[in-house]
Amino acid sequence: MDDTTADGAPRTLLITLTGKDRPGVTSSIFRTLSHAGVEVLDIEQIVLRRRLVLGVLVSAPRDWRKLRDAVQETAASMDMTVEVDRGVGDNRARRHGRSHVTVIGTPLKAAAMAAVAGRIADSGANIDRIERMARYPVTAIDLHVSGADPEILRGLLASEAARQSIDIAVQPANLLRRGMRLIVMDVDSTLVQGEVIEMLAAQADCEPEVARITEAAMRGELDFEESLRARVALLEGLDAASLDTVYDALELAPGARTLVRTLRRLGYRFAIVSGGFSQITDRLSEDLGIHFARANELEIVDGRLTGRIVGDVVDRAGKADALRQFAAEAGVPQQAVIAIGDGANDLDMLNAAGLGIAYNAKPVLRDAADTAVNVPYLDAIMYLLGISREEIEAADAEAGIVTPSPPIP
């Protein structure tokens, strides 16, 4: 549609107001607009460091100059700056290929954002809106992008993320991001720091041997089941009380409790699927409020480990099978499942999910996953879901949970 009438008058006006934010600014502008009887076609407003930017697209009245003068007078009375642009289009829907591009950096430098914006422009896409998800302990920015296929955009930005040492996630802008989802997590080096079997090996004085086998298995150089049985065999004779010692020494990944607590409030379901041991994961599930869990069971006879596994081993394929089963039990389609892992044996599980996240992962998984998060905070994953740090802290405050205040830059 032409943005001017036959006699050259504008059909629309874009009013952009900037200045120090204070109560009553928005209401004053709309009060002025109401006297002209115009229709509001689009509106966006942000406040950045107490500076307001308000954009309003309205239908142009017959005497549009009179409205322009009235808006300028209102802005001047509040010591604000205003621009009134003629014939700037209507509120047509944004173009096809809509995506959320989440950028996470520690720190996030201007050069990195310039590179990201450049790659988006190279794809023919446009950045329609930018929102801050977090400023501490990481900086997370969510870009609303239109005009490019998300898969093509993901490929372009993955290489840029590596060059800039930042994390970038590209997700289609659809209803899945807003719905109830199932989070399926690996345990060792994902939900908890370190490897449980190595902690048990330390109790059995065979840690170096077990660590070498573990590292090779996580790199995909050894069959997981074969490597697990070989490592467990080294634990033969270990007092079962060592399991309690190891559990008490476990350290959760930073942000793990915040992730589970916050998303449970939104109705999310959680599962842990581990190549580790049920004697540990069952207790973790109870402690954190995890809905589903699957892991290997260590055989214990007369209070000591026999060096054997009871039943089938939860290997790479077994993790993916568990994901599908838990999704069915939770009534969640696989496209609404988020899988998080760090090693080669998580690959099938991540491929089976709608969104696979490599968390501080080995290269073999990081290169194959939908996206990678390389900051040491598990709750940073919530920024990929459109949940801001301010919203998380506000929900915790309502529940009486106090979070440390971030430093003021």
Q: How far apart are CA 121 and CA 148, in angstroms?
A: 10
Same fold flag, 12-86 and 99-177: yes
Tell me the HSE value of 37 on the side-chain side, using a 13 A CA sphere: 3
Q: Of 167, 188, 346, 379, which is the active-site residue?
A: 188
CATH of domain 99-177: 3.30.70.260
CA 290 to chain CA centroid, Å, is: 19
Q: Of 186, 342, 346, 379, which is the active-site residue?
A: 186
Q: Which amino acid is at 165?
A: S
What pLDDT, in 10s, does the model give residues 265-290?
999 999 999 999 999 999 999 999 99
Residue 142 known to be catalytic? no
Phi, psi of 239 (to 5 degrees): -60, 130
Residue 302 known to be catalytic? no
- Report, at the CATH architecture level, how domain 183-195+239-369 is classified: 3-Layer(aba) Sandwich (3.40)
Q: How far apart are CA 365 and CA 344, in angstroms?
A: 6
Average pLDDT of the chain?
A: 90
pLDDT at 28 over 80: yes
Domain 12-86 fold is Alpha-Beta Plaits (3.30.70)
* Residue 228 near residue 318 (C-beta atoms within 8 A): no
pLDDT at 91 over 60: no
Of residues 345, 337, 300, 298, the one with CA closest to residue 319: 345
Which of the four pLDDT bands, split at 50, 70 and 90, describes residue 1? very low
Taking the chain, what is the end-to-end CA distance rounded to the nearest angstrom?
A: 47
pTM equals 0.82
What pLDDT, in 10s, does the model give residues 108-165?
999 999 999 999 999 999 998 888 999 999 999 999 999 999 989 998 999 899 899 9
Q: Which amino acid is at 4?
A: T
Check residues 321 and 151 and name the one with the higher pLDDT. 321
pLDDT at position 216: 81
Greatest mean pLDDT among 16-20, 86-90, 91-95 lies in 16-20
**What's the residue count for the chain?**
409
Least confident interval from 112-121, 209-218, 249-258, 293-302: 209-218
What radius of gyration do the chain's Cα atoms show?
Answer: 27
| Residue the block writes with tokens 């069952």 | 282
pLDDT at 238 over 60: yes
Which of the four pLDDT bands, split at 50, 70 and 90, describes residue 354? very high
371-373 and 355-359: which strand pairing?
Answer: parallel
Q: Where are the domains of the chain?
A: 12-86, 99-177, 183-195+239-369
Of residues 103, 97, 163, 102, the one with CA closest to residue 126: 97
Check residues 220 and 294 and name the one with the higher pLDDT. 294
pLDDT at 252 over 80: yes
